[in-house]
């Protein structure tokens, strides 16, 4: 099972950018722990009989994210997407449309609780084309999102 993990704008600054909001872990730290969790699932939990493989992509550029989603379903053999679209959550019809066109199960994750922040963050344009959304649990949002995505893929 191949899962694409996509991170949007400013997430490359994790660990340095507003640590009280986004935590002190870098994107690399979170990615490494996601790999460890996938390995543990492979070895012990056995959500799927297939090996879980993660690939990672981060971009501050909306068009690159849209292109990567398009490649995921037209060229790559991706089974699902775990995405933190960052600020594009609230503005990107293009990412929404790319996810919808891909027909890949997608889980939206956020480190912070977007619904307890500024009003403009309360609307996710992406969520309506995702199978689920997890926010507010810091780096654990990614780990919970991965487990939810794998369970969804297993049961469909």
- Burial 124-153, CB ≥16 within 10 A → b, else e: bbbbebbbbbbbebbbebbbbbbbbbbeeb
Active site residue 110: yes
Catalytic choice (90, 110, 122, 142): 110
Catalytic choice (22, 88, 96, 142): 22
Active site residue 122: no
| Structural tokens at position 105 | 């199960």
Phi and psi for 136 in degrees, rounded to 5?
Answer: 95, 5
Phi and psi for 59 in degrees, rounded to 5?
Answer: -150, 145
H helices of 9-105, in order, are 19-22, 27-40, 62-74, 93-102
Residues with catalytic function? 22, 110
């Amino acid at each position: 099972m191949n899962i694409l993990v996509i991170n949007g704008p400013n997430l490359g600054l994790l660990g340095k950018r507003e640590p009280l909001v986004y935590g002190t872990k870098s994107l690399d730290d979170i990615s490494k722990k996601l790999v460890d969790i996938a390995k543990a699932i492979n070895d012990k939990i056995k959500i799927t009989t297939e090996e879980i493989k993660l690939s990672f992509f981060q971009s501050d550029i909306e068009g690159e994210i849209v292109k990567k989603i398009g490649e995921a379903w037209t060229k790559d053999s991706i089974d699902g997407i775990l995405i933190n679209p960052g600020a594009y959550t609230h503005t990107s019809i293009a990412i929404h449309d790319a996810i919808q066109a891909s027909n890949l199960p997608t889980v939206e994750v956020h480190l912070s609780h977007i619904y307890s922040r500024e009003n403009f963050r309360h609307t996710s344009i992406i969520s309506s084309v995702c199978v689920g959304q997890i926010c507010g649990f810091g780096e654990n949002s990614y780990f919970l999102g991965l487990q939810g995505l794998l369970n969804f893929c297993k049961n469909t």
